Chain A
């Protein structure tokens, strides 16, 4: 069945450093979605990528979809304390989530 793997599981960065999380699927995806979950909260939709090689930006966040549509990445430039949380990718079909990357910011 469809599997979505996400690395790393945890990441500690100093405030101001960059952060990247990677998502890999065992199958080709029709699209991929990214969500953020703050501690104690529920996942909130960030963005969706549909096209092969697509790159989208949201302020300090850059999202990429691989050419083969089997991998994706989220890069945060100059992290801030508000970026703390767990970032999930989700592959479409049954909407299967990766295990997420928990981001900790060290002041």
Chain B
């Protein structure tokens, strides 16, 4: 049982390049989340998906797009990367939205030069 799997683990991009961060969970969870973590800023919610086929903006959605491809997968896309998007990105999932803890992936460390 792998839990929440994120790929890649590390990525270096040049300004203006695009890429997609992948996230998959094998726990049959309904809701999935993308966070970014910067030093001193804690975890900030980018986008979330309460269920397959739905997505909603979080605290810092600008510059990102998401796709809930199916129940298992929730991807995060940077269309034109900027140095301000250098961060550690965490994907997380929960089985429902009421009283469940988040299960996090191991993160993707992204550097934009």
* Contact call B42/A42, Cβ cutoff below 8 A: no
Within 8 A of B (CB), among A83-106: 88, 90, 92, 94-100
- In the complex, B90 has a CB within 8 A of chain A: yes
- In the complex, B104 has a CB within 8 A of chain A: yes
* Contact call B102/A9, Cβ cutoff below 8 A: no
* Residues on B with beta carbons closer than 8 Å to the beta carbon of A33: 101-102
* Contact call A94/B48, Cβ cutoff below 8 A: yes
- In the complex, B35 has a CB within 8 A of chain A: yes
Among the listed stretches A11-19, A43-51, A61-69, which one makes contact with chain B, having 4 or more residues with CB under 8 Å of it? A43-51
Q: How far is the CA of A45 from the CA of B41 in the complex (A)?
A: 19
Q: A-B contact count, CB below 8 Å?
A: 52
On whether A42 and B104 interact (CB within 8 A), knowing A50-B99, A94-B58, A95-B33, the answer reads yes
Q: How far is the CA of A86 from the CA of B106 in the complex (A)?
A: 16
Contact bitstring B93-113, A, C-beta under 8 A = 1, else 0: 010010101111111000000
Chain A interface residue count, CB cutoff 8 Å, equals: 23
Q: How far is the CA of A9 from the CA of B45 in the complex (A)?
A: 19
User: Which of under 10, 10 to 19, 20 to 34, or 35 or more describes the interface residues of B?
Assistant: 20 to 34
Residue of A nearest to B107 (CB): A42
Q: How far is the CA of A92 from the CA of B45 in the complex (A)?
A: 12
* Residues on B with beta carbons closer than 8 Å to the beta carbon of A90: 43, 102
* Contact call A44/B58, Cβ cutoff below 8 A: no
Chain A: minimal CB distance from B110 (Å) = 15
Mind listing 30 A-B residue pairs with CB under 8 Å? A9-B40, A31-B99, A33-B101, A33-B102, A35-B102, A41-B106, A42-B90, A42-B104, A42-B105, A43-B90, A43-B102, A45-B102, A45-B103, A50-B99, A88-B43, A90-B43, A94-B45, A94-B48, A94-B58, A95-B48, A96-B45, A96-B59, A97-B35, A97-B43, A97-B44, A97-B45, A98-B42, A99-B41, A99-B42, A100-B42
Chain A positions near chain B (C-beta within 8 angstroms): 1, 6, 9, 31, 33, 35, 41-45, 48, 50, 88, 90, 92, 94-100
Closest 9 CB pairs of A and B: A99-B42, A45-B101, A42-B104, A97-B43, A100-B42, A97-B42, A43-B104, A42-B106, A42-B107
